[in-house]
């Protein structure tokens, strides 16, 4: 494997893309794959595609592809629905596993939707559960024998701070709690070993570092030794043991199949399956090393050229995912100006300028060019224009 693999992506000319941590770019060949699928499968086979083109098996087949990247055993990952749904499934199952405990532990660096789903589930269960949210650095100390489930996003979406997965999982298990990891900012970015860490659940999305496209389906991993005992809270017909028997009563399917809910997004899964082909050529250790080199270069050059910015990410690369964040009071306007000048990052309130580093299509020259443009925008106050200050719906 030689990085980067720029020829494997259809990036617009003149753009330096530092936002793959939010939406990955279009992999080369995906457009043709999706066009062929719609023409030759949906168009030619109509409803026969569920059988002759393997649509019904897609969620598990692609799940195994994702499983290889997150170190999960074959048959323990399934695709479908959104990340919010998968969080709900994992957390509801975890609370069933610990009926005598009432605390769900998370941290303030968790992505808000995970917390929203926990709050909603707790409210509707109405069994006396409570969501306890602590600072990221206080998670381990807060795990005790009152905790039913520890629900943590591995890499902080704002700062890129990365939790020690093995240590926190081990602490949760010593306390008798169930462990749930959100891998939205980890899958395809940093090495993950779900089998090795032994966590009961992992969930994640595929439109970031896995380049599945906007709205690409989420995934859920369940440790194989516990999946057979899960009574799914969302008893969808495709999680049924025999969906086309159309029984009036629900019987959960075998293994990870019971975590399926609704009809799989076949076209989106076709795009993701084509995008996943690149990972057959990628060594995650090499990818991680390249990511660290690019991130370290970016930090050094920004701090030398942009004194108004303050590093928000951990300085130690071992504690950081594949993104770097800087604080700047006028961060939103500065990011809009940067995008207008051909460098795409993003902004997270209240003052975070966020940059993702994906060695699949970025190199050292891209980093230096991006810093040069950023420095000019800040030095010449090019951000101080009404069109850059006007807040758009998506930041």
Say if residues 103 and 147 touch (Cβ distance below 8 Å): yes
Residue 327: active-site member: no
What is the 3-class SS of the chain, one letter each residue?
A: CCCCCHHHECCCCCCEECCCCCCCCCECCHHHHHHHHHHHHHHHHHHHHHHHCCHHHHHHHHHHHHHHHCCCCCCCEEECCCHHHHHHHHHHHHHHHCCCCCEEEEECCCCHHHHHHHHHHHHHHCCCCEEEEECHHHHHHHCCCCEEEEEEECECCCCCEECCHHHHHHHHHHCCCEEEEECCCCCCCCCCCHHHHCCCEEEECCCCCCCCCCCCCCEEEECHHHHCCCCCCCCCHHHECCHHHCCCCCCECCHHHHHCCCCCCHHHHHHHHHHHHHHHHCCHHHHHHHHHHHHHHHHHHHHHHCCCCEECCCCCHHHECCEEEEECCCHHHHHHHHHHCCEECEEECCCEEEEECCCCCCCHHHHHHHHHHHHHHHHCCCCCCHHHHCCCCCC
Residue 363: active-site member: no
Which candidate in 114, 182, 346, 366 is catalytic? 182
Residue 208: active-site member: yes
Residue 61: active-site member: no
Which candidate in 17, 201, 207, 332 is catalytic? 207
Which candidate in 208, 223, 258, 320 is catalytic? 208
Say if residues 149 and 122 touch (Cβ distance below 8 Å): no
Which candidate in 9, 354, 357, 361 is catalytic? 354
Residue 111: active-site member: yes
Which candidate in 17, 88, 111, 388 is catalytic? 111
Q: Catalytic amino acids?
A: 111, 182, 207-208, 354
């Amino acid at each position: 494997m030689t990085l980067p693999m720029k020829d494997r992506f259809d990036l617009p000319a003149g753009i330096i893309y530092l936002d793959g941590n939010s939406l990955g770019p279009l992999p080369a060949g995906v457009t043709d794959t999706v066009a062929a699928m719609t023409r030759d499968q949906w168009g030619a086979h109509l409803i026969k595609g569920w059988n002759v083109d393997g649509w019904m098996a897609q969620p598990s087949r692609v799940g195994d592809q994702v499983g290889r990247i997150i170190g999960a055993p074959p048959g323990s990952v399934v695709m479908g629905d959104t990340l919010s749904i998968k969080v709900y499934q994992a957390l509801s199952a975890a609370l069933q596993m610990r009926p005598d405990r009432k605390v769900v532990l998370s941290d303030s660096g968790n992505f808000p939707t995970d917390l929203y789903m926990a709050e909603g589930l707790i409210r509707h269960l109405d069994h006396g559960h409570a969501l306890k949210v602590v600072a990221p650095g206080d998670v381990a100390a807060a795990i005790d024998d009152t905790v039913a489930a520890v629900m943590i996003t591995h890499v902080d979406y704002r700062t890129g701070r990365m939790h020690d997965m093995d240590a926190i999982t081990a602490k949760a298990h010593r306390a008798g709690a169930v462990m749930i990891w959100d891998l939205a900012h980890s899958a395809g970015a940093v090495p993950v070993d779900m089998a090795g860490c032994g966590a009961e659940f992992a969930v994640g999305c595929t439109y970031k570092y896995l380049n599945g496209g906007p709205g690409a389906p989420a995934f859920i991993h369940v440790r194989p030794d516990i999946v057979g005992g899960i009574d799914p809270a969302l008893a969808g017909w495709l999680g049924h043991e025999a969906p086309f028997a159309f029984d009036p009563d629900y019987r959960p399917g075998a293994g990870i199949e019971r975590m399926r809910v609704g009809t799989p997004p076949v076209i989106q899964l076709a795009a993701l399956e084509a995008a996943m082909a690149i990972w057959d050529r990628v060594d995650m250790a090499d990818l991680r090393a390249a990511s660290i080199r690019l991130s370290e270069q970016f930090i050094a050059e920004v701090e030398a050229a942009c004194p108004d910015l303050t590093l928000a990410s951990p300085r130690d690369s071992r504690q950081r995912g594949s993104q770097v964040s800087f604080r700047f009071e006028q961060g939103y306007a500065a990011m809009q100006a940067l995008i207008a000048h051909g460098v795409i990052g993003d902004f997270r309130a209240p003052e975070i300028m966020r940059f993702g580093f994906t060695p699949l299509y970025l190199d050292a020259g891209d980093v230096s060019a991006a810093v040069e443009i950023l420095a000019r925008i800040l030095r010449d106050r090019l951000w101080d224009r009404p069109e850059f200050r006007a807040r758009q719906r998506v930041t």
